[in-house]
Copies of this chain bind each other. A is one copy, B any other.
Amino acid sequence: MKRLLIALTVLGAVVAPAEADDDTLPSWNDSPAKRAILDFVSRTTTDGSPDFLAPGERIAVFDNDGTLWCEQPMYAQGSFAIDRVKALAPQHPEWQTHQPFAAILAGDRAALAKLDEPQLAALIAATHSGMTTDDFALTVRGWLNTARHPRFHRPFPQLVYQPMLELLAYLRAHGYKTFIASGGGIEFMRVFAEQAYGIPPEQVIGSSGKLKVELRDGRPVLVKLPELNSIDDKAGKPVNIELHLGRRPVMAFGNSDGDQAMLEWTVAGAGPRFALVVHHTDAAREYAYDRQAHVGKLDAALDEAATRGWTVVDMQRDWKTIFPKGPREESR
């Protein structure tokens, strides 16, 4: 080992061991997770390191729901769809007797939890198609400004994770290009990704419906069709990341079994690779859930993380704060 160190020193390739300090990732406790991140970034961005990556190769991909922001008690986009049904109900008297609309309008959460695939598809079609992409973005923007989380009473964009905001900024400061690869709708997410995360629309990947060019008032616009294009979840994540990026990322971050294929595919590439799983362990400050969760189930991927030595964030232990300080105090 000593000979190896000397040889590396001669080659100018020794990298100072990463040290956690209070200025870097200040909302992270000094834990193995934080040190693993600092170490990987140091190894891949220090000139002369055997793991050095040229800036163009520094690609990091993040799941969104449960990785960058709160996904409980339901995905924000689910709350959005429900609110859209309520807003559009006066134009659809037939919804009073048709599922899933009747259950939504009656506030029947038990029935909502049991929706089958065709009913979910009908819900998405009714709330996510027929309008132009521009109009849809305006509707989402308005909703994000006014809707409140049922427990924290904050707008959803204030329920991003402060430690992850710091991580995104830290990676970018080290030449990493940060992308989102989410199971959520690509157009929904793009509305807030730039403001909330500093991630521009062209660096957001997500589930999508088909689009069609139409002339409206003599002007070409893109209209959202009620037809699925791709679901960016499970094996769909590597497929869509390849379509958008043309290569494997070197870092991937997720929190559920839906991210497992993305994490496996990322670390299977040659050269230095990094996979991280956010484990929701903090019922007091956020939520605690994993193997039995309906939303954000983390089971097989948690086992694989242990087996393969992926970095696991224990939110309760590793994060000093969960949400950014905002105009509203956190409450239970």
Of the candidates B194, B239, B242, B268, the one whose C-beta lies within 8 Å of that of A56 is B194
Contact indicator A222/B242 (Cβ below 8 Å): yes
Bound-complex Cα distance A59 to B201 (A): 12
- Does A200 make an interface contact (CB < 8 A)? yes
> What chain B residues lie within 8 Å of A186 (beta carbons)?
243, 246
- Does A88 make an interface contact (CB < 8 A)? no
Bound-complex Cα distance A142 to B244 (A): 24
> What chain B residues lie within 8 Å of A59 (beta carbons)?
202
Contact with B along A42-67 (1 / 0, CB 8 A): 00000000000000100100000000
Contact indicator A200/B56 (Cβ below 8 Å): yes
Given A56-B194, A201-B246, A246-B204, does the pair A239, B211 have CB atoms closer than 8 Å?
yes
Contact indicator B201/A213 (Cβ below 8 Å): no
Contact indicator A261/B220 (Cβ below 8 Å): yes
Given A133-B242, A186-B243, A245-B201, does the pair A268, B211 have CB atoms closer than 8 Å?
no
> What chain B residues lie within 8 Å of A229 (beta carbons)?
243
Contact with B along A218-241 (1 / 0, CB 8 A): 011110000001000001001100
Bound-complex Cα distance A265 to B194 (A): 23
Contact indicator A244/B242 (Cβ below 8 Å): no
Contact indicator B213/A265 (Cβ below 8 Å): yes
- Does A190 make an interface contact (CB < 8 A)? yes
Bound-complex Cα distance A268 to B222 (A): 11
Given A201-B247, A268-B219, does the pair A261, B213 have CB atoms closer than 8 Å?
yes
Closest B residue to A213 by beta carbon equals B235
Given A194-B56, A246-B190, does the pair A238, B220 have CB atoms closer than 8 Å?
yes
Contact indicator B238/A202 (Cβ below 8 Å): no
Which residues of chain A in 235-294 are interfacial with respect to chain B, using CB atoms and an 8 Å cutoff? 235, 238-239, 242-247, 261, 264-265, 268
Bound-complex Cα distance A246 to B206 (A): 11
> What chain B residues lie within 8 Å of A29 (beta carbons)?
none
- Does A141 make an interface contact (CB < 8 A)? no
Given A238-B220, A261-B220, A264-B220, does the pair A211, B56 have CB atoms closer than 8 Å?
no
10 additional contacts (CB under 8 A) given A133-B242, A190-B246:
A186-B246, A187-B246, A201-B245, A201-B246, A202-B244, A202-B247, A208-B243, A213-B239, A220-B264, A222-B242
**21 examples of A-B residue contacts, CB within 8 angstroms:** A56-B194, A133-B242, A179-B202, A186-B243, A187-B246, A190-B246, A201-B246, A202-B244, A204-B246, A211-B238, A212-B235, A212-B239, A213-B238, A213-B265, A219-B268, A220-B265, A220-B268, A221-B268, A222-B238, A222-B239, A222-B265
Closest 9 CB pairs of A and B: A201-B246, A213-B235, A202-B245, A190-B246, A220-B265, A211-B239, A219-B268, A220-B268, A222-B242
